[in-house]
Amino acid sequence: MSEDAKTRWLAVAALVAAGMIAAGHIFKLSPAMPMVRADFGLDLVAGGWLFSTTNILAALTGVAAGVTADRFGYRRVLFFGLTIMAVASALATLATAPPLLFLCRLLEGAGFLSVVVSAPSLMVSETIPRDRPLALSWWTVYSPGGGSLTILLAPMVMRAVGWQGLWLTLSGIAVAVLTLLASMGLKGRPHHGTRGAPFHRTLIAAVRHPGPWCAAGAFALYALQYVAVMAWLPSFLVAERGLSIALAAALTAVVMASNISGNLLTGVLLRAGHRHGSLITVSSVLMALSALVIFSDLPDLARYVACAALSATGGVLPAAVLASAPEIAPHPAYIGAVNGLIVQGTNMGLLAGPPALAAVVAWSGQWNDGLWLFLIAAAGAAVLGLALNKVTGAAATPSL
Q: Is residue 3 part of a domain?
A: no
Which residues, at least 6 apart from 141, have a Cβ–Cβ distance to it below 8 Å? 16, 20, 260, 263, 264
Q: 118, 111, 250: which is closest to 171 by C-alpha?
A: 111
Q: Is residue 399 part of a domain?
A: no
Taking 90 as the threshold, does the pLDDT of residue 16 lie above it? Answer: yes
Which residues, at least 6 apart from 331, have a Cβ–Cβ distance to it below 8 Å? 192, 205
pLDDT of amino acid 397: 41
DSSP assignment of 86-104: HHHHHHHTT-SSHHHHHHH
Which residues, at least 6 apart from 193, have a Cβ–Cβ distance to it below 8 Å? 70, 71, 333
State residue 296 phi and psi, 5-degree precision. -135, 180
Distances (CA, A) of 9 to 119, 307, 353: 14, 32, 34
Which residues, at least 6 apart from 366, have a Cβ–Cβ distance to it below 8 Å? none
Distances (CA, A) of 89 to 116, 117, 173: 18, 20, 11
Domain harbouring 250, CATH code: 1.20.1250.20
pLDDT of amino acid 272: 84
pLDDT of amino acid 394: 46
Q: 354, 296, 266: which is closest to 44 by C-alpha?
A: 354
* CA separation for the pair 32, 23 (Å, rounded): 15
pLDDT of amino acid 205: 65
Q: What's the domain range around 94?
A: 9-392
* CA separation for the pair 111, 106 (Å, rounded): 9
Q: Are 317 and 219 in contact (CB under 8 A)?
A: yes
Q: Are 211 and 391 in contact (CB under 8 A)?
A: yes
- Interval 228-260: pLDDT, tens: 888 778 877 887 787 887 788 888 888 988 999
* CA separation for the pair 134, 271 (Å, rounded): 8
* CA separation for the pair 205, 327 (Å, rounded): 15
Q: Are 182 and 79 in contact (CB under 8 A)?
A: yes
Q: Is residue 398 part of a domain?
A: no
Q: Which of the 8 DSSP states describes residue 240?
A: T
- Interval 356-379: pLDDT, tens: 888 887 888 777 888 889 999 999
Distances (CA, A) of 306 to 227, 289, 382: 15, 9, 19
Taking 50 as the threshold, does the pLDDT of residue 398 lie above it? Answer: no
Q: Is residue 292 part of a domain?
A: yes
Q: Is residue 325 part of a domain?
A: yes
Q: Is residue 4 part of a domain?
A: no
User: What count of Cα atoms within 13 Å lies in the side-chain half-sphere of residue 236?
Assistant: 24
% of the chain with per-residue pLDDT over 70: 92
pLDDT of amino acid 367: 75
Which residues, at least 6 apart from 156, have a Cβ–Cβ distance to it below 8 Å? 246
- Interval 281-332: pLDDT, tens: 999 999 999 999 999 889 989 999 999 999 999 999 999 998 888 788 777 6
Q: Are 249 and 155 in contact (CB under 8 A)?
A: yes
- Interval 59-76: pLDDT, tens: 887 877 887 887 778 899
Judged on CB neighbours under 10 Å (0-12, 13-18, 19+), 76 is middle
> pLDDT category, 396, cuts 50, 70, 90?
very low
Q: Is residue 297 part of a domain?
A: yes
- Interval 172-225: pLDDT, tens: 999 999 999 999 988 765 545 555 556 666 667 666 788 889 999 999 999 999
User: What count of Cα atoms within 13 Å lies in the side-chain half-sphere of residue 314?
Assistant: 34
Q: Is residue 32 part of a domain?
A: yes
> pLDDT category, 168, cuts 50, 70, 90?
very high
- Interval 76-104: pLDDT, tens: 999 999 999 999 999 999 998 999 999 99
Q: Which amino acid, residue 358?
A: A
* CA separation for the pair 267, 323 (Å, rounded): 8
Q: Are 58 and 112 in contact (CB under 8 A)?
A: yes
* CA separation for the pair 98, 37 (Å, rounded): 10
- Interval 33-53: pLDDT, tens: 889 999 999 887 788 788 878
Judged on CB neighbours under 10 Å (0-12, 13-18, 19+), 198 is exposed
Count of structural domains, the chain: 1
Question: Model's pTM, two decimal places?
Answer: 0.77
Taking 50 as the threshold, does the pLDDT of residue 23 lie above it? Answer: yes
* CA separation for the pair 172, 207 (Å, rounded): 37
